[in-house]
Structure 1
Amino acid sequence: MNVLKKIGLSLLGLVILLAAGSLFISSKLKVERSIEVAAPANAAFEQVNTLRNWEQWSPWHKIDPQMLLTYSGPDGGAGASYNWFSQHPDVGDGEFKIVKTEPYKLIDAQMKFGEEVATTSYTFDETAKGTRITWAMESDLGMNPVNKYFGLLFLDKYVGADFERGLNNMKQIVESMQPVVQQGDAHAGHGH
């Protein structure tokens, strides 16, 4: 009996320690990934701003190409939204809605996954080689210690990997849309 009491007290102490430790973990979590594309900002911007384009590059559309999609509002820009419904456990159901845009610079949106709500932003910064696209998501995990530890240990890793896949898919699309610049013949115009 004495051994069981020690085990019980040890487990209780561990739970209290973890709960107390979670007070020092921020309830706000931010996941962010960037990529540079050899394309102008307007091409990258339209891939995000026009919601039907997501079917081409979104990492979640690639996981479940059979998901049901419903669109509402305008095709793009503030007020454009879509809902998705998927039986795949890595996709589930949700809603995405654009709340603000600054053409070729910024898109702010809101995503809902069941009861969870996150804000997302996409920024498009011109660079010497094209455009740097940054995809960021902020979520409030609340005060639940389990949510905080899950977010701290797993959310950035898994959501960040999805963002990286989506950005790489978008890079392939926008770069393939750009006209190929041919190098001229070195002797052209020199009478050779």
Structure 2
Amino acid sequence: MSTFEVTRSAVIPAPAEDIFPLVNNFHEWTKWSPWEAVDPAMERSYSGSESGIGAKYAWSGNRKAGSGTMEIVDIAEPRSIRIRLEFTKPFKAVNPTTFTFTPSASGTDVTWTMTGENKGLGKVFALFMNMDKMVGADFEKGLASLAGVVAQRKA
């Protein structure tokens, strides 16, 4: 079985306390998630807690957006958030995802990591697609957008 990890980091010039809530509440993701623009007609639903452990988000979109669910399964405020990310389309996969927030000299080092296993259709897909290149660019875009949202709130 082949496994993969995609991880990207960015220093956001703000304390973790200012950034953490934007990740810990799925309602806030519409402001910075790199996938929001993929399908403007994407259907979203929220359930469980408003934020933090038990908060759930489901989406269903076009071929590019696919469909799936996310649930916050663990938090250590304001240091880390663990999410169970499950794709149902275009192929089924569970990809544990973690955000960590580490104080740095110029703000907070935010690291976004997704892991997974390539099996079934995903294994075939992995032969042709580099997950790190494919998803990494989205993570970079998302972290840049997150920094932009934090900067706007401070202005």
Tell me, yes or no, whether TM beats 0.5. Answer: yes
Measured in 2, the distance between the counterparts of 1:141 and 1:161 equals 19
- Report the equivalent of 1:136: 113
On the 8 A contact 1:27/1:143 being kept in 2, the answer is no
- Report the equivalent of 1:7: none
Aligned partner (choices 136, 146, 151) of residue 175 of structure 1: 151
Measured in 2, the distance between the counterparts of 1:28 and 1:45 equals 28
RMSD of aligned Cα (Å): 1.6
Q: Unmatched 5+ residue regions in structure 2?
A: none
Q: Unmatched 5+ residue regions in structure 1?
A: 1-25, 180-192
- Report the equivalent of 2:70: 96
Deviation at 1:143, TM superposition (A): 7.3
More strand by share: 2
Match of 2:71, SS state, is: strand
- Report the equivalent of 1:85: 60
Deviation at 1:27, TM superposition (A): 1.1
1:32 aligns with 2:7: yes
Q: Which amino acid aligns with 2:149?
A: I
Match of 2:81, SS state, is: strand
Pick which of 140-149 and 67-76 moved more.
Answer: 140-149
Measured in 1, the distance between the counterparts of 2:153 and 2:24 equals 17
For 1:102-140, what per-residue CA distance to the aligned partner results, in whole angstroms no more than 9, with x for missing partners?
001000011111121100000000111110100000001
Measured in 1, the distance between the counterparts of 2:28 and 2:72 equals 14
Aligned partner (choices 137, 141, 146) of residue 165 of structure 1: 141
More helix by share: 1
Percentage of matched positions with identical amino acids: 36
Match of 2:37, SS state, is: helix
Measured in 1, the distance between the counterparts of 2:142 and 2:14 equals 16
- Report the equivalent of 2:124: 146
Provide TM-score, normalisation by structure 2.
0.91
Match of 2:84, SS state, is: strand
On the 8 A contact 1:27/1:148 being kept in 2, the answer is no
Measured in 1, the distance between the counterparts of 2:39 and 2:24 equals 21
On the 8 A contact 1:84/1:94 being kept in 2, the answer is yes
Q: How does 1:36-55 map to 2 (within 5 A)?
A: 36-55=11-30
Measured in 1, the distance between the counterparts of 2:77 and 2:87 equals 27
For 1:30-79, what per-residue CA distance to the aligned partner results, in whole angstroms no more than 9, with x for missing partners?
00001111111011111100110001111111222321110001111111
Answer 1 or 2: higher relative contact order, Cα 8 Å, separation at least 6: 2
On the 8 A contact 1:107/1:122 being kept in 2, the answer is yes
- Report the equivalent of 2:104: 127
Aligned partner (choices 113, 131, 153) of residue 155 of structure 1: 131
